[in-house]
Chain A
Amino acid sequence: MNEVPLNHVLFVSTALFFIGMYGLFTRRNMITMLMSVELILNSVNINFVAFNKYLYPDKLDGVFFAIFIITIAAAEAAVAIAIIINLYRSHHSIDVKDAEEMRF
């Protein structure tokens, strides 16, 4: 593990964050936008765990932050999917262009 510098791990997490950002910008389907959000949250988790492992190996705080982020991501995904299913029931579509009642 010591041969790889921390900057390379941070390169991976930054690239993953912006890949998720690209998906969030271009996709118009709610489920795929949710997947992009999951990618973004995972890139943040990589950062926390890498900083904990490389810079503060005597503490466990990064691990706890990663665990709490995973928990909240699971809750967020469940609520988002409940909303998506409810939206599909009323609009018969999960495209964000079709849900425009509260837009303006």
Chain B
Amino acid sequence: MSASAIFFYILSISILGAGLLAVTTKKIFRSAIWLLFSLIGIAGLYFWMQMEFIAAVQIIVYVGGIVVLIIFSIFLTQQSGKQMARPSIGRIVFSLLAVCIGFALTYSLLQPYVFQPPSSAPVDMSVRNIGNQMLSTTQHGYVLPLEVVSVLLLAAMIGCIVIAMKIKTQAK
């Protein structure tokens, strides 16, 4: 087993362990920190697959944006040291059952499948190529989804402001 494979297994164990702790720990702030470690591990997985651009986007958007947003909203809405209520035993048992059965079903379908190895030469995964294809208007260009997603981001931004805005009552 080479160093690359060992690195992959260490990364996957840390991703799954941190994810499992993020959904099971009792304190909500610790849950956010475990989620942070899990997302960093996923960024490491992208680095391991030599997808540097996706890894950088993952770190910037998830680790630097979403987790910080979640931590701020935890601070705004509740005491971070407070223990969360334990879910009932019946709910734990049945969700564990559903999750295990779903995982077994999916993985038993996945395991015997033989993937065809690629036949063509790999393309250059540099940022220049990604940017060129994203902004090209030819057949495999992604300029229309880019525009649509930019409109979606604008709508989400305005929607956030409108939803979270405090309506001042006229005190006269």
Chain A interface residues (CB < 8 Å from chain B):
1, 3-4, 6-12, 14-16, 18-23, 25-29, 31-32, 34-36, 38-39, 42, 45-46, 49-50, 53-61, 63-64, 66-68, 70-79, 81-86, 88-89, 94
Contacts and interface: CB of A to CB of B under 8 A. Distances in A.
Contact of B76 (A1, A73, A88): A88
Contacts of B91: 25-26
Interface residues of B, number: 85
22 contacts: A7-B110, A8-B12, A12-B15, A12-B16, A12-B45, A14-B103, A14-B106, A18-B99, A31-B73, A32-B31, A35-B70, A42-B39, A46-B42, A66-B54, A67-B134, A70-B57, A70-B61, A73-B61, A81-B69, A81-B160, A84-B77, A88-B77
B20 A57 contact: no
Given A14-B107, A49-B54, A79 B159 contact: yes
A68 B120 contact: no
Interface of B: 1-2, 4-5, 8, 12, 15-16, 19-20, 22-24, 28, 31-32, 35, 38-39, 42, 45-46, 48-51, 53-54, 57-58, 61-62, 65-66, 69-70, 73-74, 76-78, 84-85, 87, 91-92, 94-96, 98-100, 102-103, 106-107, 110-111, 115-118, 120-123, 125, 129-130, 133-134, 140, 142, 145, 149, 152-153, 156-157, 159-161, 163-164, 166
B92 A26 contact: yes
Consensus secondary structure, chain A interface = helix
B40 to A, nearest CB: 11
A77 B71 CA distance: 12
Contact of A39 (B22, B24, B96, B125): B22
Contacts of A75: 152-153, 156
A8 B11 CA distance: 12
CB-CB nearest 9 A-B residue pairs: A23-B23, A25-B95, A57-B122, A75-B156, A82-B164, A58-B120, A82-B160, A82-B163, A12-B12
B70 A34 contact: yes
Given A29-B28, A56-B118, A66-B54, A78 B157 contact: yes
B54 A63 contact: yes
Contacts of B49: 1, 49-50, 53
Contact of B74 (A31, A46, A83): A31
B141 to A, nearest CB: 10
Contacts of A60: 123, 125, 129-130, 133
